[in-house]
Structure 1
């Protein structure tokens, strides 16, 4: 006779769930504190505890952070910085991802003499500190006439992310059967036809991983943003830093918290909406090659 399943979870499972809930609460506590503070006015911040709920949903701090908070001598809020980041991140993510896919395709399925050596040299970019390339990159941008521009930032992020995206796609494509590519070549398909019609349709998992990874890195980058941007091209991370460090008679913690959440909303939204695809892509890459 088979034993009937218990209506109550085992002690071990309860302990595991308890530890996970505690870890999640500990991880989300700073976000909770930021969120409740952003809805409080100055009086509530002074008279209530950090974790106390606000008396109501007061959106004034959010409006100020978005459109009228001072970031140095400029008092237009985070709005221009936000759209600078959008203008920079979207093309940089798409270009670096497609570029990495093409590199991975060549280095795994169209190998040539020295391709493994080239791939090994390219991997230096994954481990190289970005501070090392600041001076030569600034010289290159100056020679190209792209200094202090969003186009220059796009180029910098494409080059900085190329080693990582190539690594992702090369390892993923290494598991594609060579017979599939050889059969397509025998049927008359050329380099680009195989790439667009055969390889890319198989690449959805790794594409999702790379897009999310690149968007997170580029959107949250501060180093390149503060070094290579100009007055009109600063990304949101630089704007947030300027807002938080702008001195005033009374520190507006609610505005700072609202601004920080606004700066992090796109990446949070990406992981909430596409997190399952990220996990699937990582799992698919983990069992290949």
Structure 2
């Protein structure tokens, strides 16, 4: 009995240690963001702020724009919101339909199509920059939010298709065949039977796509300009702004603001992410 208690104590002690160690950078960011620069210069990195101020947060969020240059993250934040919502919705919808077709409505060459989509997962994004820029130029959507949505949808189809296809493989074919015998067509089966069963994998895909798109810097830097730049580009611009004094509290506040949406998504839907993976997201 004593041995079991000791083992449990050791396990919890180790877990708490690693949790504190993992969260230490977040603590430093939070405390630094609410300190004054005088306190940052004269204090200890791990010390708790003596006088809490949110002036750095206000400056990091500021929304003043002059021409094509903006100070603060607010304009970039809303650019990312306008980009991420349609990009996630479209790529997830297309992935669900593709996965449904490739798992339950196979056609001659469907395995080749799936293999080519999977091959797309292994192509470095840097290789896509030139052809994607050329395509956007032809479509007339270069350096715009629409262009960013287009890029993320195209690059997200392969991964979303993989998630949904592997999940749908686990749905009994008898269920689909019975619906066909009852006269249900392609779309009715999808909307009335398959999609309602897809909540776990749908949450996995939404979280995955949201995180990937919101945190993307490469595409945001290359395919946007001026008023269409996302928050990752805005954060980089803010951190690299040439000033006489480096404002670490503003940089830390800006970094937290940029991370808040993804943190919120994981906190709100994290349990569905784990449940979706366990339900078959990585099977197949």
Specify the TM-score bucket, using the shorter chain as the normaliser. Answer: over 0.9
Alignment check: 8 A CA contact 1:69 1:78 kept: no
Alignment check: 8 A CA contact 1:72 1:242 kept: no
Post-superposition offset of 1:197: 0.2
Alignment check: 8 A CA contact 2:87 2:152 kept: yes
CA distance in structure 2 between the partners assigned to 1:70 and 1:248 by the alignment: 18
- Indicate which of 151, 164, 170 corresponds to 2:165: 170
Alignment check: 8 A CA contact 2:33 2:252 kept: yes
Post-superposition offset of 1:202: 0.3
* 1:264 is aligned to 2:259: yes
RMSD: 1.9
Which residue is equivalent to 2:109?
A: 114
Alignment check: 8 A CA contact 2:84 2:149 kept: yes
Post-superposition offset of 1:71: 11
CA distance in structure 2 between the partners assigned to 1:70 and 1:30 by the alignment: 31
Post-superposition offset of 1:148: 0.2
Q: Structure 1 length normalisation: TM-score?
A: 0.94
CA distance in structure 1 between the partners assigned to 2:56 and 2:42 by the alignment: 17
* 1:60 is aligned to 2:36: no
SS of residue in 2 equivalent to 1:49: coil
Deviations 1:162-204 (A, max 9, x none): 1000000000000100000000000000000000000000000
- Indicate which of 71, 76, 82 corresponds to 2:71: 76
Matched ranges for 1:1-289 at <5 A: 10-67=5-62, 74-285=69-280, 289=284
Distance of aligned partners of 1:271 and 1:190 in 2 relative to their CA distance in 1, 3 Å threshold? same
| Structure 1 stretches lacking a partner, 5+ long | 1-5
Alignment check: 8 A CA contact 1:71 1:246 kept: no
| Structure 2 stretches lacking a partner, 5+ long | none
Q: Structure 2 length normalisation: TM-score?
A: 0.96
Distance of aligned partners of 1:186 and 1:220 in 2 relative to their CA distance in 1, 3 Å threshold? same
Distance of aligned partners of 1:258 and 1:29 in 2 relative to their CA distance in 1, 3 Å threshold? same
Aligned residues: 284
Post-superposition offset of 1:68: 5.6
CA distance in structure 1 between the partners assigned to 2:62 and 2:40 by the alignment: 22
